[in-house]
Every structure is written in structure tokens, then in C-alpha cells.
Homo-oligomer: A and B are copies of this chain.
Amino acid sequence: MSNGKRATGEELAGDELAAWHGMLEAHATLTRELDRRLRSVHGLGVSEFDVLITLFNGPGRGLRMTDLAEAIMFSPAGLTHMVTRLERDRLVQRAVDPGDRRSFLVRLTPDGLARLVAARVTHNDVIRALFTTKLTSAQLRHLAGIWAAILP
């Protein structure tokens, strides 16, 4: 019984340990390299890229602060700080939501759109080079199923 699942209280071992530890290592390795490349080539960190791509995919290239924070798994305060930086760099713009004046709509500026489009190429290249092209189609399919089973 050197592999497989164990009972509560026992140590993680075998595939259980490899599955968990592998995710930690893979995540750290991939996001660090992605961050390094995005930062050196485009002056954007992974977090900044996530904001821009999420806005890009939103209706009208924009989103409310709350919805944006939820989408990228940021705290409200954290997002405020980040958007303040991005607005200073003229990549996004805030405007009061006419429908609910408590809300701010964040939108990509033309500069932000241009930076995003350029960075997206690097982003996808890195992910393919370090991740998806190292896996078979079956492995990619399995992985998608695994995340679906774990996430609510």
C-alpha cells in the first residue's frame, strides 16, 4: 500500500502527496516565470495582466469594482490599490456607474487595450511552452475534469 488514498490522521503519501506537492511546485514555477517574462517584456505583472484581461472579457471592456475583485479573487481593498496604480499608468479608467452611484465602472483605456493585446501573446506563449505543450490531449482533458471535480 505505497500509493493511493489514506485515512484521516495519516501522513500524505504516494499519489496523494505527489498530486498536492506537484500543484504547489507547478504553480510557483509557472507563475514566477510568467511574471518575469510579462514584467521584463511588457512592464506588467501577472496580477496586472489578470485585471486587464478580465476587463477585456467583460461587457463593454469594463466591470464594476466588486465584480472585478470577485473575478480575479482579490480583496476589495487590494483591488482599489491595484486600480489606483493602473489608473496612474493610464491603462484603466474609473467612472461612477450611472445606474448605482455607489459603484465604479472600471474600463480599459486605449493604452490599456494595446498593452493587453501585446502582452497576451507573451502570456499565451509562456503557458504553452511551459505547460500545455508538455501534456497530451488526454492529460489536458483529465486536468480539466480534475479541476471541475474540486472547484465548487
B10–A143 contact, CB under 8 A?
A: no
Report if A25 contacts B (CB, 8 A).
Answer: yes
A131–B20 contact, CB under 8 A?
A: yes
Tell me the count of chain A residues lying within 8 A, CB to CB, of chain B.
51
Q: Describe A's contact surface by its main secondary structure.
A: helix
Copies of this protein in the complex: 2
**In the assembly, what is the distance between CA of A134 and CA of B147, in Å?**
10
Report if A140 contacts B (CB, 8 A).
Answer: yes
B149–A135 contact, CB under 8 A?
A: yes
A20–B149 contact, CB under 8 A?
A: no
Task: Given the known inter-chain contacts A27-B27, A137-B15, please indicate yes or no for A146 contacting B22, CB distance below 8 A.
Answer: yes
B16–A151 contact, CB under 8 A?
A: no
9 pairs, A vs B, C-beta closer than 8 Å: A10-B124, A12-B132, A18-B143, A19-B147, A22-B146, A24-B31, A27-B27, A139-B142, A139-B145
